[in-house]
Structure 1
Amino acid sequence: MDVTAPRVPAFRGRTPERSALDAALDAVRAGHGGVLVIHGEAGIGKTALLHYAARQSAGCRVIQIAGVEAELAMPFAALHQLCAPLLTHLAALPEPQAQAVRVAFGLTRGSPPDRFVVGLAVLGLLAEAAADRPLVCLVDDAQWLDDASLQVLGFVARRLLADAVLLLVAARDADEQPAFRSLPALTLYGLIDEDARALLSATIPGQLDPRVRDRIVAETRGNPLGLLELPKGMSPAELAGGFAVPATGRISDRLHLLYLGRVRALPAPTRHLMLLAAADPTGDAALVWRAAAALGIGHEAAEVADAEHLLEIGARVRFRHPLVRSAAYTAASPADRRAMHRALARATSAEDAERRVWHLAAATDEPDEALATELERTAETAQARAGLAAAAALLQRSLALTADPARRADRAWATAQAHLHAGAFDAARGFAAEAAAVATGDLQRARAEQLAGQIEAAANPGRHAPVLLLRAASRLESIDVRLARETYLHAWWAAVLAGGFAAPGGDLGTVCRAALAAPWPARPRPVDLLLDGLATTIVKGRAAAVPNLRRAVTLFRDGQVSADDWLRWGRTATTAAFALWDVDAWAELSTRQVRLARASGALTSLVLSLNYHGFMTTHCGDLEAAAAVVAEHDAVKEATGVHMAAYGARLLAAYQGRPVEATPQTAAVENELIERGDGYALQITSLAAAILDNGLGRYRSALDAARDVASDELSFLTPFALAELVEAAARTGDPAAAEKALEQLSAYTVESSDWALGLTARCRALISDGADAERFYREAVERLGRTRLRPDLARAHLLYGEWLRREGRRAEARKQLQIAYEMITAIGLDAFSVRARRELRATGEKVRKRAPGVTDELTAQEEHIARMARDGRTNAEIGAELFVSARTVEWHLRKVFAKLGVASRRELREALHSP
């Protein structure tokens, strides 16, 4: 409902709560966005406060919606209510966002929209509407919003910053609403005694004994609805001073029982009309009357419910309180409920196929294969419109109507998979277990086992996922070779991420040996080459793995794989290039993987891709690009709720000399990674610590940190940890440790790449003397100079200069150290800049400390937005990438312009010019 209400007092009491609402309304009138989530038990006054906010919203546009319990399975139903009055602004949105809204709301057909693109579109609609007049959105009974709407509203609520939009949400239990966690909240408790007594005295006619009044206040704990409703069950004599046994239990439970009694006391036609209204989630009066007419229920039935202040049917269907709706449904027999759903199905138009089939499913309590099949078809339609959460709900009902064991196993598997991709891991586990329990064949059992492993890998990557996936892959070998090999590759990734925390039988070595023993399909695919190459790398060494890894990488680089395979296995191909020490292929594939994931809207894949892409861009020394990748990764991760340590961010912070961000090695962080079984994240943290400490000259600490990673011979990070270990050991006077680490490193660098051989030469120079040392330093500089690995090259010049100075060759040392210092400062390797400056001064060179840059005043978010604007991106394009509205981007840019003292994007390009 879209209303504008005058500013008038709503009610007495609730002074602090009303003050909080008044402040929020004043802020939105001043052009600031905001959100407030009001929590409290049923009847506590959440709706009354929303009504107060509506009345106080002078000068604002107000839109009010409410969740309906029966509509929980209808995707985007609540969001459609909220946005329907705003669709006139659809043309102002970028076309991909506008199309996502059209498909989500069933206005057109198209590819399934990603819920975060829908969220960005809704944010844009709200921002466009608020440009004309401040907008206040009131959402009542949020605990009954459909999952898709909840996710989008939670996404939007966290981004109401620069838009004059106030979102007020009322919900019951704060812990049951993960979409709104960590948002500003207001928890309601009962009225204070003075206000509760005044409310009772004003609403109860006749005599009210003070002791009875105080007893009612105490029993209801000041719950306003309880104060209004419970006295209705008491006789005048009791209110005037009679005796009664105090009731027990929660006030919401007692109110529900009270309403149950009132509904059951109604005439049958009125009960049936109320049941019809309760079973219909849309509040469509015309639909309810069509169904009622078919059942012979007349308008007089509504008059009785209206007289009892339980139900009002006008232009819309309105219950006095959600507890009345619940009571109307609960009071009916199962047979009556089925009859009402059947009537509603017949009255629902053919265009609303989802609701029609849902009512038909609720109208039967016996297996019905035809209806189960129709639910499956409807699930496909719902998924195309609203995503996997909608499909999961319909598939779940289809499963309940299935009797045939084989079909039941397939439908349980499909339901589990839909819940997995929708992020409902607990539900997915339950249906996967059911699929395994009712499976009638080996393929069904193996698929169920594989799905259980995928669920574990997604929900809790670490200890047990590799074991589950390995077991499923082994079972699939004799059933479906292609699926078995894909499952082995899933198990490989799970084992890599678990590292040393993998459960017995799920370590990387065991997974790789099993994968190599698996049969090949008749026609090998890129995924088969990747699996064989990566497994061979671990079991037989990198030299043996090169042919298949190279073939797979070439296929991906030459575009000989499908878009679907790119999304599924592109990150694995990028890892293969990394294993080959092929920095050009690594950079190319990583860049393409991010681009494809971003363009497809596959945000879970994008989170993973950006994480590794930030690692790559930092290695290549483009720290500006790396910072942008890290910022985008953080934005997408926060939007999706994916829990993953920031690999690229840790390495970037290490090179930039930021200890807290590079190595958040507090006990809490370390314990969290250990608890999750995230061995790879722990190794990344240790590697970052080693780089940081070597840069700062804290060689003893660097040695300890590098050893944490270098001790794992199977990790893909081990060669880089060994390089740090060689440098730290050489500097701490431990040549034996340095030589051992170099020997281990040589086993990883058998490929004839300049990266591998240049890094090895740099390390070999550290433990050599005289002409040999100089020869290796020169080789390191020459080889690394032919790569895009600028930090490694800068460090080679720095080490070479340090060695020359200690050899007494100050002029030659000065030249190498000047090159190193210029590269280090240009790249922004602040961890190494102090060391390079100190060495240069020791040669007699005067060195000025780098002056703070113009961007030092900007926050990370501001700098990222500024650089994208400098590069010609529009506000809408920047907003789409960072999941904020275009107006929020404009707000950030105004702050950037003020800080940098510029007035246009042209001046911004000059201020942010990169060397």
Structure 2
Amino acid sequence: MLGQLADVVRSGRSAVLVVRGDPGVGKTALLDFLAEHAPGCRVLRVTGVQSEMELPFAGLQMLCAPMLDGLDRLPGPQMEALRTALGLSFGPPPSPFLVGLAALNLLATAAAEHPLLCLIDDVQWLDQASAQALGFAARRLVADRVGLVFAARTTGSELDGLPDLEVGGLREGDARELLKSVVAGPLDERVRDLIVAETGGNPLALLELPRGLTHTEMAGGFGLPGAVPLTGRIEQSFGRQLAALPGPTRSLLLLAAADSSGDPALVWRAAERLGISAQAATPAVGAELVEFGSRVRFWHPLVRSAVYRSASFEERQRAHRVIAEMIDPRIDPDRRAWHRAQAAAGPDEEVAAELERSAGKAQERGGMAAAAAFMQRAVALSVDAAGRVERTLAAVELSARAGAFRQALELLAALRPEVLDEPASARADLLRGQIAFASGLGSDAPPLLLGAAKRLERWDMSLARETYLTAWMAAQFAGHLADEGDVAEVSEAALALPAPSGTPSVADLLLDGLARLVSDGRAAAAPALRRALAAFGNGDVSTEEWLRWGWPAQSAAILLQDEDSWRTIAARKTELSRNVGALDQLPVDLASQAVTQMRIGELSVARSLIAEAEALSRATGTVYPPFAPVWLACLSGDEAGAGPLIESMIATGAATGQGHAVDHAHYVASILYNGLGRYDDAMAAAQHATEDPLYIRMWALPELVEAAVRCGDLEAARAAADRQTGAPTAGRTDYDLGMQARSRALLSDGETAGDLYREAIDRLSRTTLRLELARAHLLYGEWLRRQSRRADARKQLRTAYRMLTDMGAGAFAGRARRELMAIGETIGEPPTATRTLLTAQEATVARLARDGLTNTEIGGQLFLSARTVEWHLSNVFTKLGINSRRDLHRELTDHGQRAAARRRGQTPHYRKGSS
């Protein structure tokens, strides 16, 4: 695998490998081998340093430094994100994933000149921001001449799923030979075998453990097996070598180990301050423990660890204090602050304030984890009790934003209630609720947020109202599984608030409208909600408000049954999240936009959006309930694909209190089973879905009416139709009146039924919801066939079949096909769409290329390098038998025109001779 890696990179493809193994097993030696046997490749090396784990993007900066001349060739947003992350410029905090995309394209740009091999050692000590960015880039490399090889003892989730190689110890014979090479004179075979067994063939252990031991000391091996971990024993071996060195040499090594920036000038300045001469380095260099060149390099990371651990606490403090004094605060204030913190013997308000400032700068660079670490250390050094509380709350918020929810909760738990004043206690409750909501969307969050909102009323009414809105959204996700703090309780509490002073914000309007909708119905809620939606539509909403309140705005549009506003807001929210790099929200935004496309019958567009969302989720490691994929599978009639998704959503949602996910799964299951003609299953699923207190119930009632009528349970069907007509969210729109007419038609006879079906078709044809319109044609055609009105039935069923087939709604199209065959139609199989030849990724690339985006723009949208986009397009051209983007535009446009013709009733899929 290793031998072929450089060959793969030179051939024009990417290669990624994670080398895992115990300390001393030879991972670094393997990287050395790669570097020496990669002719024609440019080799870059970076080593993670333990003491730099809290400095954001420290590792990425070292890797990118030789390639910074390619920065100006990156797209603008990526260039600015990377410049900000590396501290080269100032700007808003960059998205970590936008930084990862910039790193990907910087690597690809550098590889355009020469194949590039990047070797990253000791990954377990990389700062989290760098590891995340490099893991992101590694997952997106496809057709770039870049090799990324990571070596680590253990790795975090940043590298999960990448190809890996586990490195073990030497084989027994090789281990014996290596041990023999370092032990002078004969060695008892039993002792030799015990040493080989205890070390597990670890080369470093075999080389280093015997150093300084006499044959008498080795007579029993190295002590009791397992008494000391192998890493500890290797460090002890280095410790024995260190103990033999002169005092000034040990002090010099401690300075180098404590700083770990590798800057020899800094080490020598600190040594001079302590009165250590340059000759002090000679014994350590002679013992091959360290080298002083352009950088200070220890022979092995465990040497550094042994140097640092063998020093006393007071010695380490002195080293950090002297190093801090040697760092210019104007050049590297964060490193200086960190050293001062390590040197502090106890609480120090000046150092705590310096750390707090460093946390702010780390946050500005996008290093949330680093910012949290700085702030936590500032908490420990705080003198003033009130300042400690403020910094703790800030550290909680930073940890939560970094995704470290457990750590954030531990910090909150450490806050003693007696040291919190009332505003701080309310903020702590708010943070608990926000963490619960962000980490699970379950039933734990609503009561916490509701309680926090009530407490905040006395101190910050604006924040209280925003918290009520967040609580309302949390309650919506909890749905019928909310034990406390359901939408009714949150709405009641919100309506009891005094009216906001001055002009209400968009959050105020959304809160007032959503609360009134639950309490008093849609007519009472409509004025406030329509004002809020108008603000989103006419540009009166800031980017921050879009990102915070775009979701409740979509809920408002859905509950008003304003499908056009929902679709517009969903598309704009997706675009905005992509532009500003809010990639934590983008997968959900893409899924929401996909659902709006499915509701208008554009299943192929929805499939492309879902593929993009899934690719992004894999790249970022975010996990959300599969709302859009399960909906698509059910509409497509893909029972095999939908079944596991439905079961998983129901089980996971029930276990975590996500009632909305459970009800959603039941709702789309009712669509699937109605399409397949399995009406008993459809009725059971729809009955479950109507437990939702909001719009899932609104959508599920027509499914319940249809299934119950087909099952012969007219009582249940009438009850559902009455709820549909009289539900608080019912209104006077063509959509809801059309759906009500469709349901009443199913329960009617004679001309009354016919009139209602025609009313449903007329009203739904005025909307964009082609799927519901097609189903109305299908139901009308089925009713006409049962009335023996074959000619009229044929017309309706043909229309339904064309529309449903074009959409890709396979199950309902199959129902229409069976009905047509029952009246004597001979129907051929529908033609396969050209795009089904393509993978989901290829179809998405093709669609964006057809729309005029460049390879760089497509790469920015799909988080790929431009070269990888070019590779995907080459595959698309080959599969479709075309040669250019112009041909691609014609191919996909022709397909769309054929689909539009079928929607207008032209070119049906009938065999010659059919009537």
Partner of 1:77: 58
Partner of 2:610: 630
Is the aligned partner of 1:108 residue 2:89?
yes
Cα distance between partner residues in 1 of 2:721 and 2:548: 36
The match for 1:122 among 103, 106, 111 is 103
Cα distance between partner residues in 2 of 1:795 and 1:697: 13
What amino acid sits opposite 2:163 in the alignment? P
The match for 1:142 among 117, 123, 142 is 123
What amino acid sits opposite 2:261 in the alignment? T
Range with greater deviation from structure 2 (661-670 or 253-262): 661-670
TM-score by length of 1: 0.94
The match for 2:479 among 485, 499, 508 is 499
Is the aligned partner of 1:198 residue 2:155?
no
- Asked whether the 8 Å contact 1:114–1:387 carries over to 2, the reply is no
Is the aligned partner of 1:232 residue 2:218?
no
Cα distance between partner residues in 1 of 2:130 and 2:868: 22
Partner of 1:161: 142
- Asked whether the 8 Å contact 2:646–2:666 carries over to 1, the reply is no
- 1:444-475 per-position Cα deviation (integer Å, ceiling 9, x unaligned): 00001100111111122213111211221121
What amino acid sits opposite 2:115 in the alignment? P
- Asked whether the 8 Å contact 2:625–2:649 carries over to 1, the reply is no
Partner of 1:861: 841
Cα distance between partner residues in 2 of 1:196 and 1:816: 81
Partner of 2:494: 515
Cα distance between partner residues in 2 of 1:245 and 1:754: 84
Q: Secondary structure at the match of 2:147?
A: strand
Partner of 2:18: 37
The match for 1:647 among 627, 647, 655 is 627
- 1:461-503 per-position Cα deviation (integer Å, ceiling 9, x unaligned): 213111211221121122222211211221222222222333x
Q: Secondary structure at the match of 2:731?
A: coil
- Asked whether the 8 Å contact 1:446–1:476 carries over to 2, the reply is yes
Partner of 2:370: 390
Following TM superposition, by how much is the alpha carbon of 1:621 offset from its aligned partner in structure 2, in angstroms? 1.6
- 1:268-296 per-position Cα deviation (integer Å, ceiling 9, x unaligned): 21121111111113111111111111221
Give the number of aligned pairs. 891
TM-score by length of 2: 0.94
- Asked whether the 8 Å contact 2:423–2:456 carries over to 1, the reply is yes
- 1:63-86 per-position Cα deviation (integer Å, ceiling 9, x unaligned): 111100010011111111111122
Cα distance between partner residues in 2 of 1:417 and 1:687: 36
Following TM superposition, by how much is the alpha carbon of 1:438 offset from its aligned partner in structure 2, in angstroms? 6.3
Cα distance between partner residues in 2 of 1:566 and 1:221: 57
- 1:745-771 per-position Cα deviation (integer Å, ceiling 9, x unaligned): 112353211111111111111111112
- 1:40-99 per-position Cα deviation (integer Å, ceiling 9, x unaligned): 221122111211222222232211111000100111111111111222222332121122
Is the aligned partner of 1:263 residue 2:234?
no
Cα distance between partner residues in 2 of 1:545 and 1:663: 37
- Compared with structure 1, are the counterparts of its residues 242 and 118 closer, same or farther at alpha carbon in structure 2 (3 Å cutoff)? closer
Q: Secondary structure at the match of 1:366?
A: coil
Q: Secondary structure at the match of 2:165?
A: strand
- Asked whether the 8 Å contact 2:182–2:210 carries over to 1, the reply is no
1:207-218 to structure 2, matched below 5 A, reads 207-218=186-197
Following TM superposition, by how much is the alpha carbon of 1:242 offset from its aligned partner in structure 2, in angstroms? 7.2
- 1:321-342 per-position Cα deviation (integer Å, ceiling 9, x unaligned): 1111112112222222222122
Is the aligned partner of 1:790 residue 2:770?
yes
Following TM superposition, by how much is the alpha carbon of 1:865 offset from its aligned partner in structure 2, in angstroms? 0.8
Following TM superposition, by how much is the alpha carbon of 1:668 offset from its aligned partner in structure 2, in angstroms? 5.5
Partner of 2:889: 909
Partner of 1:131: 112
The match for 2:322 among 336, 343, 359 is 343
What amino acid sits opposite 2:510 in the alignment? L
- Asked whether the 8 Å contact 2:630–2:645 carries over to 1, the reply is no
Partner of 1:12: none
- Asked whether the 8 Å contact 1:435–1:444 carries over to 2, the reply is no
What amino acid sits opposite 1:660 in the alignment? A
- Asked whether the 8 Å contact 1:439–1:445 carries over to 2, the reply is no
Following TM superposition, by how much is the alpha carbon of 1:320 offset from its aligned partner in structure 2, in angstroms? 1.7
What amino acid sits opposite 2:27 in the alignment? K
Partner of 2:789: 809
Q: Secondary structure at the match of 2:119?
A: strand
Partner of 1:584: 564
Cα distance between partner residues in 1 of 2:593 and 2:345: 52
- Compared with structure 1, are the counterparts of its residues 243 and 636 closer, same or farther at alpha carbon in structure 2 (3 Å cutoff)? closer
Is the aligned partner of 1:741 residue 2:725?
no
Cα distance between partner residues in 1 of 2:445 and 2:580: 27
1:427-442 to structure 2, matched below 5 A, reads 427-435=407-415, 437=417, 439-442=419-422
Is the aligned partner of 1:219 residue 2:198?
yes
- Asked whether the 8 Å contact 1:270–1:302 carries over to 2, the reply is yes
Range with greater deviation from structure 2 (137-146 or 327-336): 327-336
Cα distance between partner residues in 2 of 1:890 and 1:561: 37
Gaps of 5+ in 1: 1-19
Cα distance between partner residues in 1 of 2:222 and 2:632: 71
- Compared with structure 1, are the counterparts of its residues 530 and 243 closer, same or farther at alpha carbon in structure 2 (3 Å cutoff)? closer
Is the aligned partner of 1:847 residue 2:827?
yes
The match for 1:717 among 689, 696, 713 is 696
Cα distance between partner residues in 2 of 1:348 and 1:718: 64
- Asked whether the 8 Å contact 1:433–1:448 carries over to 2, the reply is no
Q: Secondary structure at the match of 1:485?
A: helix
- Asked whether the 8 Å contact 1:481–1:519 carries over to 2, the reply is no
What amino acid sits opposite 1:102 in the alignment? R
Cα distance between partner residues in 1 of 2:683 and 2:880: 42
- Compared with structure 1, are the counterparts of its residues 162 and 221 closer, same or farther at alpha carbon in structure 2 (3 Å cutoff)? same
- Asked whether the 8 Å contact 1:663–1:685 carries over to 2, the reply is no
Q: Secondary structure at the match of 2:16?
A: strand
Partner of 2:307: 328
- Asked whether the 8 Å contact 1:435–1:445 carries over to 2, the reply is no
RMSD over aligned CA atoms reads: 1.9
What amino acid sits opposite 1:108 in the alignment? S
Cα distance between partner residues in 2 of 1:73 and 1:727: 60
- Asked whether the 8 Å contact 2:57–2:367 carries over to 1, the reply is no
Cα distance between partner residues in 1 of 2:433 and 2:785: 57
Q: Secondary structure at the match of 1:58?
A: coil
- Asked whether the 8 Å contact 1:824–1:830 carries over to 2, the reply is yes
Partner of 1:276: 255
1:425-464 to structure 2, matched below 5 A, reads 425-435=405-415, 437=417, 439-464=419-444
- Compared with structure 1, are the counterparts of its residues 665 and 629 closer, same or farther at alpha carbon in structure 2 (3 Å cutoff)? closer
- Asked whether the 8 Å contact 2:195–2:222 carries over to 1, the reply is no
What amino acid sits opposite 1:25 in the alignment? A
Cα distance between partner residues in 1 of 2:400 and 2:749: 59
What amino acid sits opposite 1:553 in the alignment? L
- Asked whether the 8 Å contact 1:690–1:703 carries over to 2, the reply is yes
**Percent of aligned positions with the same letter in both sequences?**
49
- 1:563-592 per-position Cα deviation (integer Å, ceiling 9, x unaligned): 211211021111101100111211222222
The match for 2:686 among 703, 706, 724 is 706
Is the aligned partner of 1:360 residue 2:303?
no
- 1:709-741 per-position Cα deviation (integer Å, ceiling 9, x unaligned): 1133x1321111111111111112211111111
- Compared with structure 1, are the counterparts of its residues 242 and 256 closer, same or farther at alpha carbon in structure 2 (3 Å cutoff)? closer
Partner of 1:763: 743
- Compared with structure 1, are the counterparts of its residues 770 and 561 closer, same or farther at alpha carbon in structure 2 (3 Å cutoff)? same
Q: Secondary structure at the match of 2:150?
A: strand
- Compared with structure 1, are the counterparts of its residues 673 and 260 closer, same or farther at alpha carbon in structure 2 (3 Å cutoff)? farther
Gaps of 5+ in 2: 898-915
Cα distance between partner residues in 2 of 1:342 and 1:238: 39
- Asked whether the 8 Å contact 1:655–1:829 carries over to 2, the reply is yes
The match for 2:526 among 519, 522, 546 is 546
Partner of 1:676: 656
Cα distance between partner residues in 2 of 1:597 and 1:245: 59
